[in-house]
Structure 1
Amino acid sequence: MEGTITTEVFNREKAEATVKALRESFRSGKTKTYEWRASQLEGIAKLIKEKESDITEALKSDLAKPEMETYLHEISLAKSACLFALKNLKKWMKPEKVPASITTFPSSARIVSEPLGVILVISAWNYPFLLSIEPVIGAIVAGNTVVLKPSEIAPATSELFAKFLPEYVDSSCVKVVEGGVPETTALLEQKWDKIFYTGNGKVARIVMAAAAKHLTPVSLELGGKSPVLVDSDVNLKVAVKRIAVGKWGSNNGQACVAPDYIITTKSFAPQLVESLKITLERFYGKDPLESADLSRIVNLNHFKRLTDFLDDEKVSDKIVYGGQRNEKQLKISPTVLLDVPLDSLIMKDEIFGPLLPIVTVDKLEDSYEFINSVAANPLAAYIFTKNKKHEEEFINNVPAGGILVNDTILHLANPHLPFGGVGESGIGAYHGKFSFDAFSHKKAILSRGFSGEAKARYPPYTTGKQKILRGLINGSIVALFLALIGFPRD
């Protein structure tokens, strides 16, 4: 297939040829038209509809992801992103009229959204369908050509893209490159007009270093230790269900916005723990390792990384629920830990798995400094409270990529909100119109006719002209009038 590049032959020369071909397609101008963009979005929507069972099977193979999660978190969100873009594409493409200023009178001003050119999307393994296709949708809707590099850690989904995407989109403008580090390295050696990377901070630094050689702009969607602050005034039954589904109902904790740890008061912690135990048993049964509703850990390396957290002598006696594991099945049960030491391994790195530590404080106000000291700028931060004062304090004191009050993870489903990190949790944002903007250059246009000449702007510069120009800059209507009629004449 024209849009598929096999890993056996993909090297630096192939990467260079791929970029060259995409640049030629972009320069032809066809991707800039509304018709081309709309037809590609329609093709992707058709792919999602016709290949839903294939997508479900691929995610089951890669992550043992429950069918319900696959539909809710990947298929439905990808379909919604596509249809939302189709609905709003004409509006987004229209030039945006903006006010002109007195210093440029008479004139008109507008902003034109211009495609950047040739885009590289490097996606992640934890939501391998959604996190691949949604940035591609953004690149297409903005009028670009694009290479998708799916994650090799989710090989079934990667193969699905390579096999089917060229059948539904223009393969001269949208290509899939499979492979691992060598293929990604070959791609990063090329000059792109933008790189969109989803993953971890370590690889993000490699991506930024490669991009810097060509002054290529980047969007980085990373992660972090997303905190959950739980007040004692909440509806505990509802709050715990929402925390649990956000943690364990999201790839068994393998999600960049999954709750990483809870903070609550010492006095309220026992009630919270007891409610978590009841809820988790209701969700996943007495033997959660046998539950069909829990994803497995993606591979043995991540499994051992998570069990190292549990086997740390500082936390091994802090487990209050769960802790079971099965290496052969790559499964770890939902696990709750109470009062873990702040210098333990589990509190130093993003967990990205089914382990949920609870940290206790004397009063909620003590939480803000702690959150910012553990891992500043998380991708998401959550608070459960009925207290508006606590809510506002949390919003004002926690510099997260996004904040959700009285729930978890749902904010990313609103296409009118930007989704992205800040600092260690990422650069840039996307979703909805923000995806269109992420892959566009905002070109400033100022238009003037040949009337309305202000003689004061031209040499020779006299004292009188300087007064008029100062008046113009300060917004003086009198100065504008004098400039237009040619005063002063000296």
Structure 2
Amino acid sequence: MDPFVDVLRRLREAFRSGRTRAAEFRIAQLKGLDRFLQDNKQLLQEALAKDLHKSSFESEISEIRITQGEINLAVRNLRAWMKDEKVPKNVATQLDSAFIRKEPFGVVLIIAPWNYPLNLTLVPLVGALAAGNCVVLKPSEISTSVEKVLAEVLPRYLDQSCFAVALGGPEVTGQLLEQRFDYIFFTGSPRVGKIVMTAAAKHLTPVTLELGGKNPCYVDDDCDLQTVANRVVWFRCFNAGQTCVAPDYILCSREMQDRLVPAMQRAITRFYGDDPKSSPDLGRIIADKQFQRLQGLLGCGRVAIGGQSDETERYIAPTVLVDVQETEPVMQEEIFGPILPIMNVQGPDEAVDFIRRREKPLALYAFSNNRQVVKRVLAGTSSGGFCGNDGFMHMTLATLPFGGVGASGMGRYHGKFSFDTFSHHRACLLRPPGLEKIYAMRYPPYTRRNLRVLQMAMETRGCSCTLL
């Protein structure tokens, strides 16, 4: 007996009733989500600490506050986002009404990861609710403490006829993917992303895939050395490196490497003390499987900083690797831990060539005092997002889309982009019933005169339209 048949039937009945379409209902759901975060802030921080040893500082800025910001933005702007969007018309449609209507897809599935188990679960949910969908939410079973709170507490704040939480591991995810959804939003690895896309193809279900990849970080010889070291270390070690947009490797000259490594050591000591393991601000690896994979990567290249680990605590020290070969595992797979390899290149052109030989990353970073160098890296590469002279701050700005390209994903969200992702943009034209004599020139028998008139009438400010 399929455990999700009754759940999906309930959600589809609620959607067909039209109750999710009103702005008032959507806003009420969003405000309920906000109350969930406010009322259970301490509970959520405790759960994040249990799962990831995440400090209250990191939990606040990267999980709770970002989600609240997305909710507040959606509540303030929802009515404007929902309005029909008028479009320019050509001569042939001057008497018509032409607009884009934003409609909810229906019943959507959100599959979330474990590394930011609140942010990456609830921010897509904000977009789905704002767009008027019913939602099945599948949090990660690996972040068990947060999963429990989302399953037991969150439903109390939302209309349960329009919302459901599915619990379990890969088997449950597989059962969900056998169902027909109107949209699937997945955040996770490229390997699982392919499985999701294959399953969605059976029903021609549209998808957003937020994946990952190896994010390059080019450091130019002309830069403020300690500033670069501070920023790279913080962004690499934030959440113990378990961040899909963290810098995954450094590209720099051998001369810069010799200067950068001591500066990074100073940054690590300043941030986490002489014994990072005892620091309350450095997280832990989520589970044994992930820890063992990272421990294996410590054997790549030569350890210049760190390299210590403790399996009992799932602790990996902030680590910098040098003399790394491109063929080694640490340069072939996304690291997802506080380990940072350095590869040597001679200048920005060689860095760009190196980056372009590989799959397109989710994020890309360039550090230089020379603005032209940063622009050269930006112009010569492709990535989901780009940030010059800092780490992943671009993803904190809701006015910028967040998403990958190529192997790092497809689709985008954050802010209004989330609303648009979970909305079907319906092309609408309303024509008055009369005036048949004007429109009769479209009909056979065709003449060259009528063709010329129609061609001129169908031009829209330099854009041509085609009758299908």
* TM norm. shorter chain > 0.5: yes
1:385-404 aligned within 5 A: 385-404=368-387
Kindly state the Cα deviation for residue 466 of structure 1 after the two structures are TM-superposed.
3.2
Query: Which residue of 427, 441, 448 corresponds with 2:410?
Result: 427
| Residue 308 (structure 2) pairs with residue 297 (structure 1) | no
Q: Which residue of 1 aligns with 2:4?
A: 15
Select which of 365, 372, 380 maps to 2:349.
365
| Counterpart residue identity of residue 417, structure 1 | L
Q: Residue in 2 aligned with 1:353?
A: 337
Matched, 1:48 2:1: no
Take 1:382 and 1:196, find their aligned partners in 2: how far apart are those partners? 26
CA–CA distance in structure 2, aligned partners of residues 324 and 331 of structure 1: 8
Counterpart selection for 1:72 from 51, 55, 61: 61
Deviation at 1:465, TM superposition (A): 2.6
| Deviations 1:118-144 (CA, angstroms, capped at 9, x unpaired) | 000000000001111111111000000
1:412 aligns with 395
Q: Which residue in the other structure is 1:277 paired with?
A: 265
**2:117 counterpart of 1:132:** no
Identity %: 43
**Match status 1:103 vs 2:87:** no
Q: Does the 8 A contact of 2:88 with 2:460 survive in 1?
A: no
Aligned-residue offset at 1:474: 5.5
What does residue 37 of structure 1 align with? 26
Describe the SS at the equivalent of 1:424.
Answer: helix
Q: Secondary structure at the match of 1:404?
A: strand
Mapping for residues 184-333 of structure 1, pairs under 5 Å: 184-249=173-238, 251-312=239-300, 315=301, 318-333=302-317
- Asked if 2 retains the 8 angstrom alpha-carbon contact of 1:66 and 1:293, the reply is yes
Q: How far is 1:220 from its partner?
A: 0.6
Q: Match of 1:335?
A: 319
TM-score (norm 2): 0.96
Contact 2:89–2:460 (8 Å) recurs in 1: no
What is the deviation of 1:467?
3.6
Runs of at least 5 residues in structure 1 that lack an aligned partner in the other structure = 1-11, 477-490
**Equivalent of 2:364, from 377, 381, 384?**
381
**Cα separation, 2, equivalents of 1:413 and 1:470:** 47
> Where in structure 2 are the equivalents of 1:124-163 lying within 5 Å?
124-163=113-152
Q: Which runs of 5+ in 2 are unaligned?
A: 462-468
Q: 2:298 aligns to what SS in structure 1?
A: helix
Report if aligned partners of 1:289, 1:324 keep a CA contact under 8 Å in 2.
Answer: no
Partners of 2:102 and 2:186 in 1: how far apart?
22
The 8 Å contact of residues 103 and 475 in structure 1, kept in 2 or not, is answered as no
Question: Cα RMSD between the aligned structures?
Answer: 1.4
Aligned residue type for 1:82: I
Render the CA deviation track for 1:290-340: whole Å, top value 9, x for unaligned: 21111111111111101111124xx2xx11110010011100100011231
Cα-to-partner distance string for 1:70-105 (whole Å, 9 max, x where unaligned): 111001111111111111101100111111112323
State the distance in 2 between where 1:462 and 1:399 align: 49
Aligned residues: 459
Deviations 1:416-454 (A, max 9, x none): 000000011011000000000110000011122223723
Report which stretch shifted further, 54-63 or 465-474: 465-474
Report the alpha carbon displacement of residue 473 of structure 1 after superposing the two structures with TM.
Answer: 4.2
Cα distance in structure 1, aligned partners of 2:63 and 2:147: 14
Aligned partners of 2:458 and 2:83: how far apart in 1?
Answer: 30
Q: Deviations over 1:388-440 (max 9, x none)?
A: 22122111112100001111011111000000000110110000000001100
Contact 1:98/1:110 (8 A) holds in 2: yes
Shift of 1:458: 2.2
